[in-house]
Structure 1
């Protein structure tokens, strides 16, 4: 039954023609899993986000007003916990994921006062994009139904990908610079601290050739130094942090 529900939701998300329609789907599937509320959002101050940002939710209006007035887009404890895991987590796990401050305790207490009793959040980590998440929350008196959390994990991930498509963010990937294999090889070793000469020896190419590959790669990203080049490659997914750290 769960598998069938997940498949049906995935098909419905792909067929959705608007963010509002996606929100209706999340509301319906959330209620089926025992949740009263949902929130799919990037972790930014929506009013002044530096790039297109997503936020769709049916949280209480009182919570939205408090959240925006306090500028909690980046500092909300649930959002901070998303940086510590790629798996969905129940809000009761927050003390295990992040060090909660007195202010965090006040924020969580306020969320409960306005009706968000308990919840489950699915992090969204896309290289080169704003961090985000999809959360589901229960109302007062509603228990967190643990048997539905694996489905909630899938639903949150599929919904976030659908939101990226509907907002035009996913299509923007096609505009990213494309590196050749040799350019990526050079950036890989540069990120690990190797000089152009050392890179040429490792790859078995001429010193001037290594310099040229690095110059071309910087040109594709429009940056002027090796550090900026490595950062852009990391955010684009051309490199991983494991590559850069040599682990």
Structure 2
């Protein structure tokens, strides 16, 4: 376990943005037999935009964010109220679901999210986040893995949160210009050659909204085209890695 955590710590220390953070957590979780995870900072936390780093299926995360399900999600609701990790789903725990919340959980189950172990995070700045490990398994195997590594997972969650907030805050700067979370997300995909329509599909927003955020980014960066903005973004990230 110590070798896995040391590797995790090294990856986080060398991370630049959300992709690196995702890869570090993905590798570590897989090493423990936990392939499905989601780190969420809801939009209502200190007024920031929703941040999600997840291995859940992309159609589900896009639908989740587009529908603002973080405001309805019973797991998120319970995580706000609790300070200790908790298990849920597959007959474990009672989340006292309303009909709309039950519908949400049924939708999640269609994407292989039936059971989970959620670690609430309430940091000193008043920021709320939650790291969830999930499974499609109905058998107790998943929870046996959780029980074995529970303390380690809590440490991983806290360590990941510290680095995620640090990296994701600095990540919103491009050549000294502060951009919004959405503007950065749109630029990141534009730099990979995605169209406004494709960006909208990936992020769970409309094509018009994607174009709106890219236009704002262009104005803030003082360039005329989306391509120029994407190049500025890519160069800034390349410089950060050197």
Q: Give TM-score, length-normalised by structure 1.
A: 0.58
Query: Is the 8 Å Cα contact of residues 134 and 157 (structure 1) preserved in structure 2?
Result: no
What runs of 5+ residues in structure 1 fail to find an aligned partner? 170-247
After superposition, give the CA deviation of every residue in 1:144-171 in whole Å (9 maximum; x if it has no partner): 11212222211111111110110127xx
With 70-79 and 60-69 compared, the bigger mean Cα shift is at: 60-69
Q: Using a 3 Å threshold, how does the CA distance of structure 1 residues 140 and 99 change in structure 2: closer, same or farther? A: closer
Name which of 72, 75, 78 aligns with 1:75: 72
**Highest CA radius of gyration, 1 or 2?**
1
Q: Deviations over 1:223-245 (max 9, x none)?
A: xxxxxxxxxxxxxxxxxxxxxxx
Q: Which residue of 2 aligns with 1:65?
A: 62
Count of residues in correspondence between the two structures: 164
Pairs within 5 Å for 1:87-102? 87-92=84-89, 94-95=93-94, 98-102=95-99
Task: Give the conservation status (yes or no) of the 8 Å contact 2:83–2:122.
Answer: yes
Aligned to 2:23: 24
**Alignment partner for residue 123 of structure 1, among 109, 120, 123?**
120
CA-atom RMSD in angstroms: 2.6
Report how far residue 127 of structure 1 moved.
4.1
Aligned with 2:103 (options 106, 110, 119):
106
Alpha-carbon distance in structure 1 between the residues aligned to 2:50 and 2:58: 20
SS at match of 1:87: coil
SS of residue matched to 2:70? coil
Q: Please name the residue that 1:35 is paired with.
A: 34
Q: Distance in 2 between matches of 1:94 and 1:65?
A: 27
Q: What is the distance in 2 between the residues matched to 1:163 and 1:50? A: 17
Q: Deviations over 1:85-127 (max 9, x none)?
A: 22222224551xx532122222112111111132211111124
2:134 aligned to which of 112, 137, 141: 137
Provide the secondary structure at the position in 1 that maps to 2:71: coil
Matches for 1:1-247 after TM superposition, within 5 Å: 2-44=1-43, 50-51=47-48, 53-92=50-89, 94-95=93-94, 98-140=95-137, 143-144=141-142, 145=145, 146-168=147-169
Tell me the CA shift for residue 62 of structure 1: 2.7
In structure 2, stretches of 5+ residues that fail to align are: 171-242
